[in-house]
């Protein structure tokens, strides 16, 4: 067997290939060495920035929302610290053994928590629960679950619940005002959030505070004009009347005639702003400011005021109301009785539509429109409440004779309960109209004279007859005090005209007559009991609430003789 030569068995040598391979490895090593030198020595900020991107976060530091107080310093809206629970679905598995315990603490079904984590597994952050109590957050934290984190927040709490619900309003989950005073003064109440830089670990937990970027500034406190005692009294009185009369709704406004401050404002049905489930549009609107109605006979004192201003009438001028009806165009205007020949004062006392119409038609329509405009109808009241309605008062140039007639007794225009209260307060203030205010005044605001004082005093005296013998509202009396007021029983408007059996029962009044302090309007919408007249439905509410208010405010009685005429058991306590 022939042996192959040794040279044939030797592998060929390629010295250039070896050198090339060594050169590539050398170059790669040099590039890596240079990059390490660059990152570690020449430009270390790059790695630092990358680390910051992954681990340093800026947290918002929520600002404590300002507290809302009543005029006597009682808190009506306060912010309490709570915590929100978040998760990192990339870290927390839907199959984690502690997940059932977590779901129980969150008051969530286990399936919902698992579905949420599974559906957001590509996200690095989701909320599991907002605004839980610190105690519950501590129990969740004790589970030591990976990917669970917490954020500090504030939650609004309303100690007076539904008593102040319509006025105060509420905030949303982000603590922003959504309704009422909370919305109207949100910018002032909210404050300014701060910022903090923190270091988080891979599970998003804060492991260190890097630096304070800015400090949070709490919101400004707010003091309302409302009195918690009077608000409660008004709420109870109105709620009882609505319930007893099986009414659809109701509103009550109580105002200080000396400066326009609203001391109480309530509506029915009410809602509890602490219960988010009750925040439905029909419940949370403040009807006293956002809803309008035709004021009916409560407008007659202003019609008579125009007559007195003309110089052609005095409280004793005779008015022939005939058999209790008159024809204006194709409309017949009626009284509820046959009053015959009565004077101007009796037009108010008896609430004669015929008398008011005859007086109004004898006067320039511009004068009637001017009075309604001066006392604030079809204008903002100054309360700065969101959603305030202006009402309706047609341009006088568009009036026809029938509108001239019906406006005299309160049909053909619309007002809000707050507007009507403000107009009556102007009579009580001797003819001076003040802006309505839901905030407590530091000093008396400037008022505008809209009625001559002599005429305002005459109107008060005539309206005092409404609650006297032969008047339409003896049930509005308050023992120990002289009361002036006016009833209104209004047919509700419907498509094609006015409903025969649907009413608004209204009473507007002022007390005490000798030195007026308070004005109040009570409106009960669609009473379905045995009575529907304002003197029978709304006047008793006025009496009950006004009596309590005068006593709570220590207003001196100006009619002690009435206590002797009509004593009550509590008068001897």
Alpha-carbon dihedral angle through residues 23, 29, 35, 40, given to the nearest 10 degrees: -150
Q: How far is CA 408 from the centre of its chain?
A: 33
DSSP 563: H
What DSSP string runs through 278-343?
Answer: G--HHHHS-HHHH--B--GGGGHHHHHHHHHHHTS--TT-EEE-TTTEEEETTEEEE-SS---EEE
**Which is nearest to 357 in space by CA: 315, 399, 411, 419?**
411
**Which is nearest to 512 in space by CA: 565, 570, 468, 555?**
555
Long-range contacts of 155-158 (CB under 8 A, 24+ apart): 155/79, 155/80, 155/81, 155/82, 155/131, 156/65, 156/77, 156/78, 156/79, 156/182, 157/77, 157/78, 157/79, 157/80, 157/274, 158/76, 158/77, 158/272, 158/273, 158/274
Q: Does the N-terminal peptide bond of residue 552 adopt cis geometry, omega within 30 degrees of 0?
A: no
- The three-class DSSP label of residue 70 is coil
DSSP 41: I
Q: What length does the chain have?
A: 573
Catalytic residue (one of 297, 352, 414, 505): 297
Please indicate whether residue 505 is annotated as part of the active site.
no
C-beta of residue 306 within 8 angstroms of C-beta of residue 361: no
Degrees to nearest 5, angle at CA 127 with 92 and 79: 135
What DSSP string runs through 17-39?
Answer: HHHHHHHHHHHHHHHHHHHHHII
Q: Count of CB atoms within 10 A of residue 143's CB? A: 13
Residues with Cβ within 8 Å of 85's Cβ and at least 6 positions away in sequence, in order, are 106, 127, 128, 129, 132, 137, 140, 148, 149, 150
* Cα gap 374→101, rounded to integer Å: 66
Strand pairing category for 194-200 and 448-449: unpaired
Helices and strands, number each (H, E), in the chain: 22, 21
What DSSP string runs through 469-532?
Answer: TTSS-GGG-BTBB--EEEEEEEEEEETTEEEEEEEEEEEEEEE-SSS--EEEEEEEES--SS--
Task: Please give the positions annotated as active site.
Answer: 297
């Amino acid at each position: 067997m022939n042996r192959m030569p040794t040279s044939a068995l030797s592998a060929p040598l390629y010295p250039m290939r070896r050198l090339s391979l060594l050169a590539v490895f050398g170059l790669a090593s040099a590039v890596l060495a240079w990059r390490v030198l660059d990152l570690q020595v020449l430009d270390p900020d790059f790695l630092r920035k990358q680390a910051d991107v992954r681990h340093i976060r800026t947290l918002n530091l929520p600002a404590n929302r300002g507290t809302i107080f009543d005029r006597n310093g009682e808190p009506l809206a306060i912010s309490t610290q709570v915590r929100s629970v978040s998760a990192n679905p990339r870290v927390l598995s839907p199959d984690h053994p502690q997940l059932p315990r977590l779901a129980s603490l969150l008051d969530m079904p286990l399936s919902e928590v698992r579905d949420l984590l599974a559906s957001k597994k590509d996200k690095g952050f989701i909320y599991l629960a907002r605004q839980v109590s610190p105690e519950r957050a501590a129990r969740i934290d004790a589970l030591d679950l990976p990917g669970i984190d917490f954020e500090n927040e504030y939650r609004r709490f309303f100690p007076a619940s539904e008593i102040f619900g319509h006025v105060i309003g509420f905030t949303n989950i982000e603590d922003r005002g959504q309704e009422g005073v909370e919305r109207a003064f949100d910018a002032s109440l909210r404050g300014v959030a701060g910022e903090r830089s923190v270091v988080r670990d891979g599970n998003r937990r804060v492991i260190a505070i890097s630096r304070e970027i800015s400090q949070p500034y709490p919101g400004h406190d707010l003091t309302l004009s409302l009195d918690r005692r009077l608000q409660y009294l008004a709420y109870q009185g109105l709620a009882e009347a609505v319930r007893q009369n099986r009414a659809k709704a109701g509103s009550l406004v109580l105002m200080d005639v000396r400066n326009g401050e609203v001391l109480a404002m309530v509506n029915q049905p009410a809602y509890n702003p602490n219960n988010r489930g009750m925040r439905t549009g029909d419940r949370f609107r403040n009807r006293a400011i956002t809803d309008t109605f035709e004021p009916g006979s409560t407008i007659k004192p202003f019609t008579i005021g125009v007559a007195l201003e003309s110089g052609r009438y005095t409280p004793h001028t005779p008015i022939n109301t005939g058999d209790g009806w008159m024809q204006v165009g194709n409309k017949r205007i009626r009284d509820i009785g046959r009053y015959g020949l009565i004077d101007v004062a009796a037009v108010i006392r008896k609430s004669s539509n015929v008398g008011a119409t005859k007086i109004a038609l004898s006067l320039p329509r511009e004068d009637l429109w001017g009075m309604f405009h001066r006392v604030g109808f079809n204008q903002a009241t100054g309360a700065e409440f969101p959603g305030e309605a202006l009402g309706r008062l047609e341009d006088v140039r568009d009036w026809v004779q029938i509108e001239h007639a019906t406006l005299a007794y309160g049909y053909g225009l619309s007002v809000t309960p707050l507007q009507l209260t403000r107009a009556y307060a102007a009579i009580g203030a001797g003819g001076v109209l003040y802006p309505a205010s839901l905030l407590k005044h530091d000093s008396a605001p400037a008022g505008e004279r809209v009625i001559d004082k002599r005429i305002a005093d005459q109107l008060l005296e005539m309206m005092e007859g409404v609650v006297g013998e032969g008047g339409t509202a003896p049930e509005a009396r308050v023992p120990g005090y002289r009361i002036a007021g006016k009833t209104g029983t209004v047919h509700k408007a419907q498509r094609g005209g006015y409903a025969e059996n649907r009413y608004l029962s209204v009473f507007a009044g002022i007390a005490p007559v000798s030195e007026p302090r308070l004005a109040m309007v009570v409106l009960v919408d669609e009473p379905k009991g045995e009575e529907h007249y304002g003197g029978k439905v709304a006047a008793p509410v006025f009496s009950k609430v006004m009596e309590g208010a005068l006593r709570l405010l220590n207003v001196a009685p100006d009619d002690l003789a009435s206590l002797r005429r009509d004593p009550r058991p509590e008068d001897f306590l």
